[in-house]
Amino acid sequence: MSRMKITGARIGAIVTCVPLREYDNLKETDSFTKDEVHKVVAMAGVKSRRIAAEGVCSSDLCIAAAKEGLELAQWNPETVDALIMITQTPDYYLPSTSCVIQNELHLSDECAAFDVGMGCSGYPYGLWLAGMMVSQGGLRRVLVLHGDTPSKYVDGTDRAVGLLFGDCGSATAVEAADSTAEINWYFSHHTDGAGYRDMIIPAGGFRTRFSQDLREHFVKMNGANVFAFTLKRVPALVEETLSFSGASKQEIDYFIFHQSNRFIIRHLAKKLELDLKKVPMTLAEFGNTGGPSIPLTITQCMLGRRMDRDFRLMLLGYGVGLSWSSALVTLEAGTKLKHVEFTPGL
């Protein structure tokens, strides 16, 4: 069973970055009738989304976030031991996007860099990998980047997905904790590949390199199956993580769900008997940004709050794969948080 407790890791900074372009679903959508748009917005909760301009990739958003993150964490780029880039919208099939970013950030050639091709559950996986790296004593500083531009693989005429997705990049500075610190992180990861077709881009990979049907190059989602999967798996994941960590719901400051759909998140919160004040949502302003929705919701939730104490967060990713994953982590007092908008050329 893929559960792990990690001691000796801490988060120094989290920065999120979104494009300047704000798309208003209610005012700008002309692919559906007004009634259809209002129904989708009412259900999913997505009023507006941030859309990356042509030629702007997830790497650009992550680089902008990383530059801010390095400054906030007071890390010299030369001291970064590893770079993890989590994305399902890479710049190229090869080379790895992490190599492109390593060069742009002027990191040392002794920095390990690799991509992780995870989607909605990717952020807990990234923290897990980084936490293991620094807790073993070999590495001191790991930069976890998670960025996606799902708006670029969406068919705007597909009612199932056309009004949902926005773009976002993030950077999380994970470092070795002081040896006297006794803060534990807890992780649980699950996979059910039998549902891989429930959210898929059929063409463009090497199973079907090119398709004459251009629609095959856009994401297809079986909404009913994904909905049923989420309602079955996520409540059990929350309970499992609480049991494994020995924590109670009352001890968790915030439950940060992947921002999939407002109706789903509210249903999950009700089923788990969670106080909605502990379940922040960013869907209305940013839409479903894929896996980076978790760090985005963290910055939006925590910015403006005094970080004069520790906050315990349960992070819950679920979706494409099918995959579901949790991380119970602590944001220590003084953790630096920032949210920025991407400005090309800067």
Of 62, 258, 301, 339, which one is the catalytic site residue? 258
CB atoms within 10 A of CB 195: 19
Closest CA to 23 of 156, 153, 119: 156
190 is catalytic: no
Of 25, 62, 189, 288, which one is the catalytic site residue? 288
120 is catalytic: yes
258 is catalytic: yes
Of 17, 111, 120, 301, which one is the catalytic site residue? 120
Q: Give dist(CA 315, CA 242) in Å, integer.
A: 12
Q: Which amino acid does the sequence have at 158?
A: D
Q: Give dist(CA 239, CA 127) in Å, integer.
A: 20
> Which of the residues are catalytic?
120, 258, 288
